Chains A and B, each alone.
Chain A
C-alpha cells in the first residue's frame, strides 16, 4: 500500500486542470496553479521570493500570487529558451496569452489571442527547431517561440480542449495530438493531419504515455489509452475524469495512466489493460496531477492536488512493494474472483438443467405445474430478426433510418435497449411500448447526427404479456457511414455546388464502396460510368455522385461538410494518400464573404469601445478627486452631485462592458466560422493538398487578401 510521502494544505482554491510544475529558477520545482479571482499562485517551499511587479506574497510565506486580472483559462510551465535552464510560466485567458519569467519577475511577451486559449502545451513539435508554446483555441492551433514569433498555425474542426505531444509514428519527432469538442482526436505532424480518431464525447484531456501510446479522457467520464490508432482499453465512470497523467507508480518501468476524478478519487491503471493498480481518495474533486522532484532528492514524486488546495505527494513503489500497491490481499481477491466464476458456471449449468426439466414437463396439453407465460417460457426456435432501412418520412415523422425488430412467432417484444455511442442523448435508447401496444415487431426511428459508422448493440426482451421473466436477445448491427442518405431515381434538382477530382480506381471498387457506406435496399450495380443520386434525410438537399470511366468524379452537393466526409471516407477506403480537387460552393463563399465583412465591423467596434472605456476611466479619476475635495471642504451639495455623476458614469461603464462582451462573443463565433470554413475546404482534399489549402488560406487571411482566399478554396492553390 502506497502512502503519501507528504501532504500539504495550501488553503487556496485550485481551478480544475490548471495545475503545473515549473523550475522557474532552473533548479527548484514549484507547484503552480490557477486559482479564483484571476490569479495564479506559485508554491515555492525551497526559497523565499521577492515582491513587486505582478507578485504579491500571500498569507502563507511559501505561496506567491500572480495577478493576471482576467479569469485564467489555462496554465502551463516549461522550458522555452533552449539555452537557458529555467522554465517560463505560460498563462492563457480567453483573450490573451502571457509568457512570464517568474525568476526575473518580468513578462517575456504578451499576445492577443482572439481565438481564446483552452489548452497550452510547451515543447518541440516535429522538425521545428525551437521549443514553442502551442495554444489551442476556437478551432485553431497557434505556436509561438520564445520571442513571441508566430511559428505555427493551423485549424482544426472544432474548439480545442486538450493537447499532447507524442511520437505517434515512431519517427523520432513529436506529433501534436489534439482533442476537440467535435469528439475527434486529430494527430498533426506539424501542420498536416496524419490521423483522426472519432470518440463519443468532447475530449477533455490527453496525455502522452510511453512510445506511441497516449491516454485520453472524455467529458462523459470515459478514460482510455490509444496505441496509435488502436484503442487498447477504455472504462467509463459516472464521475468525470478531471485530469490524466502518465507516471510509473508501481516501479515496473512502464508508466501507468493516473486519473483524477470529480468525486475526489485518484486511480492508476495499467497502460495495457486498464487494470487498477492503485487508488486513493480526496475529500474534494481532484484539480490536477503533476510530477516533479519536489523533495530535491533526485526522484520524481507524483503530486495530486484537489480543488480546495489539498496536495499529496506519492513516491513510486520500490523493492518488494513493486507491483503490489493495492491494499487488499491479492490472493484473497483471486480466490474470490475464481469462486465467483465457478458460481456463475454452476448457475449456468443449473439453468440448462432446469430448462431440460421444464422441457420434460411440457406436454401438448399444457405445461403441467409451470405457468408458461409467467415463467417467460418461449419456443426454443424463437429468433429475432432485424433490418435497417431508410424511411423518407411522412407528415408526422421526420425522415429517419428505421430499425425494424421482429420475432419469428407469437412471442412479444417487451422492450428494446439499444446501446450505441454518439447518436442518442445518452449512451442508450430504450423503446418500451405500453402493455396494450405490445406486439412481436417494433420499428425504431434513428437519427444519426454525424456521418460515421455506428455499431448498434441491440438487446430485446422477449416474452409474453404476463411474463415476469424475459429472454434477452442480444445482437449487433452496424449502421453505415452515410445512412442518412436515401437512394433516389427521381429527377431531383441538381445542387448548385460541386467538387471535382480524379481517382485512379476502377469504377467497380467505387461502386463497392457505395454499397458498403450507404444504406441501400439492394446492392447497386453499374456498367460503364456511374451516376447515383441520393436525397439527404437531414434536409440538406441532394447528393449526386458521378464517375466517368476516366476516373473523374463529380460530387454535386450543397453541404460542404458532407462533401468533405465523402471525400475523406473515400480516400480512406481506397487508400488514396494525396488528392487535389476543385470545389465550387457559391453559397458558402457568399456566406464567408458576409462573415469576413462582419469580422471587420466587430473589430472596429471593439476599438471604438476600448477608446471609450479609456476616456471614461480618466473622467472617473477626476470625478473622484473632485467629490472627495468637496467632502473635505464640507461642501455636501457638490459632493453629492459628484458622486451622482460618478454613479451614472459607472453605470455607463458597466453597460459598455456588456456591449464589449457581446461584441466579443459575436466576433469569436464569426472567427470560429471562418476557421471551420478553412477546415472544410481542407477536407475536400487529402494529404499534402489538404495541408496546402489550410496554410494558404491562413496566409491569405493574414494578408487580408479575400479574393485569394476564395480562389484557394475553389482551386486548391493560390
Chain B
C-alpha cells in the first residue's frame, strides 16, 4: 500500500473557532483571480515584493478558497497564492459565530456561506456580499445548523427548528442536548429526513415534527457527516463521531437503522470533533478524514470489505474543530485543511515542501518565508511598543484609588468525560494562550493518573483534609502548551467538587476557576438497553416532592442527565456501571421515585445521598426498600471474570522477571512448561496490559468490600470489623467460597 506522506503548512490564524466553523468553497467555474475585486483588509500582506510579483500568467484556476467564521464574529474567505493567504473578503467583528455551513440551490453548487451567530443566520455570497440576515427570534442561541437548498435546520440546546425559505415549518423538542444536525440528501429521496445527534447517546431521526426512530450509538455523538458526502448509494448512510473518540457508519433507512461499522477508540485518542470524506490517497475511493479534540488528525482508507483502515495520522497541539479535504494552495495537490480551536488554519498537503525543481527556485521559496518572518517580526516590534505604553498606563492606574482592574474572561475549552474502558475521567483544558500553570483542588478523595502525552510537570502539595482539601496538585506547563489533558479516578459514593484554576501566560496575569462535579455515582453511564432479567434491589421513595425536585436530585447523583426536567408526567432513565456492568433504572414522577439496581452498593449510595439532600430541604421522605438476596451472588458473578482475569494477570506479570532471568541463564527454555513459555512469549503484551489498568485489582477489592458492608447495612448490621476476614478470603480467591462468606457471615 502506498505510504501517505503529508507535510504541514500553516496558513493563518483567525479567532477562536467552534466545531464546523470552516469550509472549503467549491472550485470556481471561471478564473477568479481578479485582484481588484478584493477588499483591502489584508492588503498589507501584498506589500512585500514577492506577493506583488506578477501572477497573471498562472491563473488561480483549480484551487479552492477557505471560508472561516470565528468567535469574534468575523467571517472571512481567503485563497492561497504562492503560499501566502490572500483575502477575498472579511467582515467586521460582531457576535460570536457558532457554525458555518455552505448552501446553494438544490442540485447546484454549494457556494453560499451561511453562518449562525446568536439567534441570527446570515448568508454571504462567495465574494462577500451579504444576501441574508434572518433573525429567527429563537430564545436560545443557535448551536447547530444545516443548510439544504431552501431549507434551514437550526438547533438550540434542546430545540430543533426547520425553516423553509425562512418560514417556520417544523419543530421538535429533544430529550437531551442536541450536538449536531444534518439531513439526508433530498435529491436521493424525495422527503426531508433530519438527523439529530443528541448527547444521551442516540441519533434521533425525524419526519416533519415527529420522531421517526432513535438509534443508540456507543458514545455521546458530537458530529455527523454524510457518508461519501452524499449519503452513499441510497443516500441514507451517515457517519457519526462521539465525544469518547469513536466513529461509526449507520444506514438510516426509512423504517429502521442498521449499524455498518464502528471504529473503537483503542488508543484512547480524543473525542471526534470533525469528519470529512475526501480522496487524499488518490486511489479513487473517498477516504475518511477525522479530526479529534486532542489534536490528532487521522486519515482512514477502506479495505476490500469497506472497513476503514488507518492510513495516516498527524498530531497537532490543539483540538481540530473542522477538517476538510480539497485543493487550496497549488492545483493538482490534494490537501487536508484543518482548523484548530485557537483558530489556526493549517493544511496537511501532498505537495512536497522542499521543491526540487531547481536551486534558483528553492532560494526564492526561502526568501519568501524569510520576508514573511521579517514582516511578522516588524509587526511584533510595533505591537510590543504599543503594549509597553499600555502596560505603563495600566500600572499608573494602580496608583489611583478609584480605578479598577478588570481583565476580560478568556475562553477555556474544557471537557470532563468518563472513559468507559478504564472507568476514569478525562479532563481536558484548552486555552488560546499558552498555559502557565494549572492548580487542581478537590474536596473528595480522587486519584490523578499519569497521561503519557501530557508533558507538564506535576507536583502534589501536602494536604489537610480538615481544610477540605483532599487533593492539591499543580501542573507547571512547558512553554507553548495550549492544551492539557488530565486523568482522574473517582470512587463511587464519595462526592464533591473538583476545582481547577487555569493561569495562562499573559499579562495582566489572571486565572480562571472551573468547577466539575464528582457525582456520587460517578462511574455510571447512560444506556438505552436494560436487562429485565437480573435480580434487582428496589428502592422506593415517596414524599411530597415535585418531579423537578426529584430530577434535580437524581441529576445530582448521576452523570449524563439533561439539565432540564424531562417532559411528561414521569421519566425513566437507565444506567450501566462502567466498572462492574451492573445496571440501574430510575423511574420517577411527582411524589414517587423508584430505583432498581442489581448492585446493592448503588442502591445504598442513592439512599444515603437522597436522604441527605431531602433533609437539607427539610422534606420528609418515606423510604422503602426491597433487597433481593440473589442480587449479591449475581453481582459477585459479574465481578468474577474481571477479578479472575486480573489475578491471573498479576500472577503472570510477577513471574515474568524470574522467567526472564532463567532465559538469560539457560540458552534453551524448552524444558519450561508450555504455560511459562507462553508467559515469556507474551511478556511485553502482559506488561502493557498490566500497566494500562493501574490499581484495577485494588478497585475491585474495594467494590467487593463495599458490597459486603452495604449488604449488611440494609440488614441493620455493621460488619466493618469483619472486613479483614473478607480480605483474607479475597487473598485466596475462589468464587463459591466468597459467596459462602457473604451468605454465612452475619
Q: Which residues of A contact B (CB under 8 A)?
A: 12-13, 35-37, 39, 58-59, 65, 221, 236-238, 263, 328-329, 331-332, 334-352, 354-355, 358-359, 362, 370, 372, 375-382, 414-415, 417, 419, 424-430, 432-434, 437, 459, 461, 467-474
* Contact status B409-A469, CB under 8 Å: yes
Tell me the bound Cα distance from A428 to B463 in angstroms.
12
Report the minimum CB–CB distance from A458 to chain B (whole Å). Answer: 13
B511 contacts which of A342, A380, A428, A470 (Cβ < 8 Å)? Answer: A470
Can you name 18 A-B pairs with beta carbons within 8 Å?
A59-B667, A237-B457, A329-B353, A335-B369, A335-B373, A335-B376, A340-B480, A342-B379, A349-B390, A351-B508, A359-B397, A376-B510, A379-B401, A419-B476, A425-B462, A437-B467, A468-B409, A472-B511
Using a CB-CB cutoff of 8 Å, which residues 371-411 of chain B contact chain A? 372-373, 376-377, 379-380, 383-384, 386-387, 390-391, 393-394, 397-401, 403-410
Q: Which of B36-44, B269-277, B499-507 is found at the contact surface with chain A?
A: B499-507
* Contact status B386-A36, CB under 8 Å: no
Tell me the bound Cα distance from A221 to B457 in angstroms.
9
* Contact status B376-A342, CB under 8 Å: yes
B404 contacts which of A334, A377, A472 (Cβ < 8 Å)? Answer: A377
* Contact status B455-A237, CB under 8 Å: yes
Tell me the bound Cα distance from A355 to B406 in angstroms.
5
* Closest chain A residue, CB of each to CB of B668: A59
Contacts of B401 in A (CB 8 A): 379, 381
Q: Which residues of B contact A (CB under 8 A)?
A: 7-10, 13, 342, 353, 366, 369-370, 372-373, 376-377, 379-380, 383-384, 386-387, 390-391, 393-394, 397-401, 403-410, 432-434, 437, 439, 441, 450, 452, 454-462, 467-469, 472-474, 476, 480, 501, 503, 505-514, 657, 660-661, 664-665, 667
* Contact status A425-B460, CB under 8 Å: yes
Contacts of B473 in A (CB 8 A): 430
Tell me the bound Cα distance from A220 to B452 in angstroms.
17
- Known A37-B664, A346-B383, A471-B405; contact A352-B391, beta-carbon cutoff 8 A: yes
* Contact status B387-A345, CB under 8 Å: yes
* Contact status A427-B457, CB under 8 Å: yes
Tell me the bound Cα distance from A613 to B242 in angstroms.
67
Tell me the bound Cα distance from A504 to B548 in angstroms.
84
- Known A329-B353, A417-B439; contact A469-B380, beta-carbon cutoff 8 A: no
Contacts of B409 in A (CB 8 A): 375, 468-469
Tell me the bound Cα distance from A469 to B506 in angstroms.
14
Contacts of B461 in A (CB 8 A): 424-426, 428-430
* Contact status A472-B506, CB under 8 Å: no
Tell me the bound Cα distance from A714 to B410 in angstroms.
66
Tell me the bound Cα distance from A415 to B513 in angstroms.
11
* Closest chain A residue, CB of each to CB of B450: A238
* Closest chain B residue, CB of each to CB of A283: B684
* Closest chain B residue, CB of each to CB of A334: B373
Tell me the bound Cα distance from A338 to B376 in angstroms.
7
Tell me the bound Cα distance from A424 to B452 in angstroms.
25
Tell me the bound Cα distance from A430 to B376 in angstroms.
40
Report the minimum CB–CB distance from B473 to chain A (whole Å). Answer: 8
Contacts of B454 in A (CB 8 A): 238
Contacts of A432 in B (CB 8 A): 439, 441, 467, 469, 472
Contacts of B400 in A (CB 8 A): 380-381
Contacts of A339 in B (CB 8 A): 10, 13, 376
* Contact status B455-A238, CB under 8 Å: yes
* Closest chain A residue, CB of each to CB of B666: A59
* Contact status B433-A344, CB under 8 Å: yes
Q: Report how many A-B pairs have Cβ atoms within 8 Å.
A: 218
* Closest chain A residue, CB of each to CB of B342: A343
Report the minimum CB–CB distance from A421 to chain B (whole Å). Answer: 10
* Contact status A426-B460, CB under 8 Å: yes
Contacts of B408 in A (CB 8 A): 350-351, 354-355, 358, 375
* Contact status B372-A335, CB under 8 Å: yes
* Contact status A332-B8, CB under 8 Å: yes
* Contact status A430-B441, CB under 8 Å: yes
Contacts of B386 in A (CB 8 A): 345, 349
Tell me the bound Cα distance from A342 to B380 in angstroms.
6
* Contact status B660-A13, CB under 8 Å: yes
* Closest chain A residue, CB of each to CB of B377: A338
* Contact status A359-B403, CB under 8 Å: yes
Contacts of B441 in A (CB 8 A): 415, 430, 432
* Contact status A380-B398, CB under 8 Å: yes
* Contact status B353-A347, CB under 8 Å: no
* Closest chain A residue, CB of each to CB of B403: A380
* Closest chain B residue, CB of each to CB of A470: B511
Contacts of B9 in A (CB 8 A): 332
Report the minimum CB–CB distance from B409 to chain A (whole Å). Answer: 6
* Closest chain A residue, CB of each to CB of B374: A338
Tell me the bound Cα distance from A433 to B472 in angstroms.
11
Tell me the bound Cα distance from A99 to B476 in angstroms.
46
Tell me the bound Cα distance from A283 to B245 in angstroms.
24
* Contact status A378-B459, CB under 8 Å: no
Contacts of A430 in B (CB 8 A): 439, 441, 461, 472-474
* Contact status B406-A359, CB under 8 Å: yes
Report the minimum CB–CB distance from B354 to chain A (whole Å). Answer: 8
Tell me the bound Cα distance from A489 to B242 in angstroms.
71
Contacts of B457 in A (CB 8 A): 221, 236-238, 427
Tell me the bound Cα distance from A345 to B384 in angstroms.
7
* Contact status A434-B468, CB under 8 Å: yes
Tell me the bound Cα distance from A341 to B509 in angstroms.
16
Tell me the bound Cα distance from A351 to B456 in angstroms.
26
Tell me the bound Cα distance from A571 to B642 in angstroms.
65
* Contact status A379-B664, CB under 8 Å: no
* Contact status A461-B664, CB under 8 Å: no
Q: Which one of A36, A419, A428, A429 has the highest number of Cβ atoms from chain B below 10 Å of its Cβ?
A: A428
Tell me the bound Cα distance from A531 to B393 in angstroms.
51
Contacts of B460 in A (CB 8 A): 425-426
Contacts of A65 in B (CB 8 A): 664
Report the minimum CB–CB distance from A368 to chain B (whole Å). Answer: 12
A349 contacts which of B383, B398, B474 (Cβ < 8 Å)? Answer: B383
* Contact status B512-A472, CB under 8 Å: no
Report the minimum CB–CB distance from A300 to chain B (whole Å). Answer: 30
Tell me the bound Cα distance from A346 to B410 in angstroms.
13
* Contact status A381-B398, CB under 8 Å: yes
- Known A332-B8, A461-B511, A468-B512; contact A355-B664, beta-carbon cutoff 8 A: no
Contacts of A419 in B (CB 8 A): 476
* Contact status A338-B511, CB under 8 Å: no
- Known A336-B10, A347-B432, A426-B460; contact A472-B353, beta-carbon cutoff 8 A: no
Tell me the bound Cα distance from A434 to B468 in angstroms.
6
* Closest chain A residue, CB of each to CB of B440: A430
* Contact status A37-B665, CB under 8 Å: yes
* Contact status A429-B462, CB under 8 Å: yes
Report the minimum CB–CB distance from B396 to chain A (whole Å). Answer: 9
* Contact status A347-B394, CB under 8 Å: no
B383 contacts which of A13, A345, A359, A380 (Cβ < 8 Å)? Answer: A345
* Contact status B405-A380, CB under 8 Å: yes
B513 contacts which of A37, A427, A470 (Cβ < 8 Å)? Answer: A470
